[in-house]
């Protein structure tokens, strides 16, 4: 549980400026962006964030296909790949040019590129999103690479629970900011995430049960 808590804290440590509270401390989130230009920029931020998160999920699922020993874990990883890829394809047009560099082969992690500054010195929110995503993927892979067998299976499913919880929360909040076309895509994605989250929880519980049973058998 300590590992899951650390990932939850790390995933919420940094947010783009448009999610920050107002100086007065009050929540001033708009129901929908009003200006067309602002709406397009916000959609770019939201879609890019989800594209980076989605590609990280695909990378970890690919790793699970290679290293997992439990058939149900492998089946869950394949389901993630099959269901997440179409969602990412729908998000890509909203991310536009910002998606270049974020959409990579799932089996190849994206190194941190320190892209948080434009050449003119202006702050680059899209670069920050990519850098944070690359760091999160690196940390997750490092944790998984250190594990084998049943321990790997439990760690992967634990990360899957945390990841889908985070994705569910992101989609819930992002729908309040997205344009109507993107909002529709996010709503469809939310249904898939809810299904995956429940399966991840069920899978994690089964693995814990197997571990307890095996431990009890060993002690006898």
- In DSSP terms, which residues pair with 117 in a beta bridge? 123
| Residue pLDDT tens, the chain, 220 long | 444 443 443 444 444 444 444 444 444 555 554 445 588 889 999 999 999 999 999 999 999 999 999 999 999 999 999 999 999 999 999 998 554 444 344 344 444 445 455 555 678 888 899 999 999 999 999 999 999 999 999 999 999 999 999 999 999 999 999 999 999 999 999 999 999 999 999 999 999 998 888 766 544 4
Query: How far is residue 192's CA from residue 177's CA, in Å, rounded to a whole number?
Result: 20
- Give the SS3 label for residue 143: helix
CA distances to 33, 43, 170 from 106, in Å: 32, 23, 21
């Amino acid at each position: 549980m300590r590992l899951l808590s650390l990932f939850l804290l790390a995933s919420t440590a940094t947010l783009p400026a448009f999610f920050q509270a107002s100086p007065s401390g009050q929540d001033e989130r708009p129901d929908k962006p009003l200006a067309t230009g602002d709406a397009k920029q916000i959609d770019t931020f939201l879609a890019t964030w989800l594209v980076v998160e989605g590609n990280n999920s695909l990378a970890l699922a690919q790793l699970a296909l290679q290293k997992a020993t439990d058939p149900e874990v492998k089946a869950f990883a394949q389901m993630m790949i099959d269901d997440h890829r179409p969602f990412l394809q729908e998000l890509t047009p909203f991310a536009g040019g910002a998606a270049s560099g974020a959409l990579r082969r799932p089996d190849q992690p994206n190194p941190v590129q320190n892209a948080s500054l434009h050449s003119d010195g202006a702050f680059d929110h899209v670069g920050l999103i990519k850098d944070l995503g690359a760091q999160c993927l690196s940390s997750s892979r490092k944790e998984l690479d250190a594990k084998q067998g049943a321990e790997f299976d439990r760690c992967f499913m634990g990360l899957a629970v945390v990841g889908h919880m985070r994705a569910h929360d992101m989609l819930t909040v992002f729908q309040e900011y997205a344009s109507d076309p993107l909002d529709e895509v996010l709503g469809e994605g939310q249904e898939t995430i809810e299904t995956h989250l429940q399966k991840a929880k069920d899978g994690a519980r089964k693995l814990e049960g197997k571990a307890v049973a095996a431990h009890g058998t060993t002690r006898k």
